[in-house]
Chain A
Amino acid sequence: MLYVNLIWAWGHPEVYILILPAFGVFSEVVPTFCEKRLFGYVSMVWALIVITVLSFIVWLHHFFTMGASPDVNAFFAIMTMLIAIPTGVKIFNWLFTKFRGRVHFDSPMLWFFAFVLNFTVGGMTGILLSSPPVDYQVHNSLFLIAHFHGMVIGGMLFGFFCAFTYWFPKFTGFHLSERLNRYAFWCWFSGFLIAFMPLYMLGFMGATRRLDHYEASTEWQPIFITAAIGALIILWGVTIQIYGLYKSIRERKKNRDLTGNPWNGATLEWATSSPPPVYNFAITPTVDQLDPLWAPKAPKPRKDYEDIHLPTHTPMGLYIGILSLLLGFSMTWYISWLAILSFIGIIVCLVIRLSGKDEFEIITAAEVKKIEEARTA
């Protein structure tokens, strides 16, 4: 049990590492699509800090049934409940950002609406679970499964889809098909609710996770079938997303983003072209306020280019990432030959990377001028 404690002492901060980037995404996306500055910026930052600190002292709620003393369980239960406060602050700040803003219903914003619903439902059931007496009843049941899938899919994954749609034109230079995005969104949203809401019911009825069979007399069958239909709708959403990506790449010439700022965003990444030049900014911009691109007086573009000093390109990070995925997969499923092969691959990539000589390149001022003139012409 001590090792399980160690795993979750790491593992619970880790689930916040999953969700915090999604929070960051919404703090960028919501102001952009409401044409209004983020509500309560400072309280957002403090909420983030409080969540970070609390995330380190809640791990025991993964196993209230371990048999620790009531005092220990009570401490972790209270810390877990406390996390709802800063998270609620963030949710309300996003909602207040919409208040009297000019809300646009583009697909990134749809993911946000779905996120608010799913994350609130998931958060509420999380509060239920954080109470040890309740947890003793529903420990390892499908109620728990529905809770954390709500947080990870309805919260984190929807946030990442939102980010993908929002920044796609920035890093590729062309838009995803908005129509297909909407179809995919509605499949995901409805499929998610149909797949996971029944699991809350099943959990209350006593179904646990990883069952290999159940008796017909439990009368769970129709609810399980409903959940399966939901999963199929999600699968259809995934298919549309993959097709949408393929179609958008094929028709990329029609969907170019020539402005560099297709959503009228306020932050610096939208001040350069899409996709950005290799050095991002020819002259490092000076910023004296939040939302610099919405400033009443935009600074004049400067032309006094200098040489730019950059680290050279290397694909090794990508290769190591792919090989690590294979290593993790093969270790999980005891595929020893693949594990050994991918591990050796990682070592070889590392050695190649650490044996390189030219780690920098200089882009001369003349070249910068040429690139800048070609892109602003």
Chain B
Amino acid sequence: MDTLTIHHTPDPNADTSVPDVHQDIFSTRVLGFWMYLMTDCIIFATLFTTYAVLHNNTFGGPSSKDLFSLKTSFAETMILLLSSVTCGLGMLSALKSRRKHVLGWFGIAFLLGASFIALELHEFTHLVLEGNSWTRSAFLSSFFTLVGTHGLHVSIGLFWMLVVLTQVYLIGINIDTFRRLVIFSLFWHFLDLVWIFIFTFVYLMGVL
């Protein structure tokens, strides 16, 4: 467990009035990533607002009721939720430094994420082929921007997961790869959370 020790100075009465020369890299990196996530929140908040403003502007074209299928989006939701669960189980194995379990759990999360993207691409191509692309109406433009931005995040997350898993495979679990897993899983859970909002506001409220 020593490999995962994250504090250089465990002194309980450390003088915090002066900066610690052995800066705690683990917490600063995680804090930095939280800040990134907050800026991402601003992007999604903006896109959700755009969608809320524009979702009735169908320009004579199809509305959300005509286009969305709850079956696909429910399957997407379950897949993404499940991948978050296996991602969490992977983190538990990482805490115990079990490399094979980490690779296994994250491998499943990767496959689930990939099938989520496959489903989403299938939905998008279907819409575009029927002539309902982002150029059709303001509603569809805001739909593709919001859901597409989320999809892009997931795709980049998949690539990122591959990189980190390759490191775990080659190096094993040490303080560096562990930190990268922690930060990646923050990102993955965050995307899951955003999807819950998309599922609720775009699909559920769009169809019901």
Cβ A357 vs Cβ B171 within 8 A? yes
Chain A contact residues, majority secondary structure: mixed
Complex: chain A residue closest to B47, CB-CB = A6
**Contact among A306, A307, A357 for B176, CB-based, below 8 A:** A357
User: Does any Cβ of A come within 8 Å of B21's Cβ?
Assistant: yes
Verify B50–A308 contact, CB threshold 8 A: no
Contacts of B50 in A (CB 8 A): 2-3, 6
| B contact residues around A306 at 8 Å (CB) | 21
Given contacts A2-B53, A359-B176, contact A309 B46 (CB under 8 A): no
| Cα–Cα, bound, A311→B21 (Å) | 11
Is residue A354 contacting chain B, with contact meaning CB distance below 8 A?
yes
**Which of A9, A286, A355, A359 touches B25 (beta carbons < 8 Å)?**
A359
Does B193 belong to the interface (CB within 8 Å)?
A: no
One of B18, B23, B138, B180 near A309 (C-beta < 8 A): B23
Bound complex: CA A346 to CA B167 (Å): 19
Interchain CA distance A312-B171 in the complex, whole Å? 20
Docked CA distance A356–B21 (Å)? 22
On whether the beta carbons of B163 and A354 are closer than 8 Å, the reply is: yes
CA distance A306 to B21 in the complex (A): 10
In the complex, whether A284 has a CB less than 8 A from a CB of chain B is yes
- Determine if B163 and A355 form an interchain contact, defined as CB atoms under 8 angstroms apart: yes
What is the bound-complex CA distance between A376 and B50, given in angstroms? Answer: 60
User: Which B residues from 162 to 186 make CB contacts under 8 A with A?
Assistant: 163, 167, 171, 176, 180
Shortest B141–chain A CB gap in Å is: 8
Query: Does A351 interact with chain B (Cβ within 8 Å)?
Result: yes
Bound Cα distance A334, B175 (Å): 43
**A286 surroundings in chain B (CB, below 8 A):** 18
| B176 lies within 8 A of A308 (CB) | no
Chain B residues, CB < 8 A from A351: 163
Contact with B along A1-19 (1 / 0, CB 8 A): 0110010010000000000
Which residues of chain B from 6 to 64 have any CB-CB distance to chain A below 8 Å in the complex?
18-19, 21-23, 25, 46, 50, 53-54
Interfacial chain A residues near B22, Cβ < 8 Å: 309
User: Chain B: which residue is nearest A9 at the CB level?
Assistant: B46
Most chain B beta-carbon neighbours within 10 Å: one of A6, A309, A355, A357: A355
From the candidates B21, B138, B159, name the one contacting A308 in the complex (CB within 8 A): B21
**Residues from chain A with Cβ under 8 Å of B138 in the complex:** 2
Is there an interface contact between A284 and B163, defined as CB atoms closer than 8 Å? no
Chain A, range 1-40, C-beta contacts under 8 Å to B: 2-3, 6, 9
**Which of B21, B46, B53, B167 has the most C-beta atoms of chain A within 10 angstroms of its own C-beta?**
B21
Question: Closest 4 A-B residue pairs measured CB to CB?
Answer: A309-B22, A351-B163, A309-B21, A355-B167
11 contacts between A and B (CB under 8 A): A6-B46, A284-B19, A284-B21, A286-B18, A306-B21, A307-B21, A309-B23, A311-B25, A355-B163, A355-B167, A357-B171
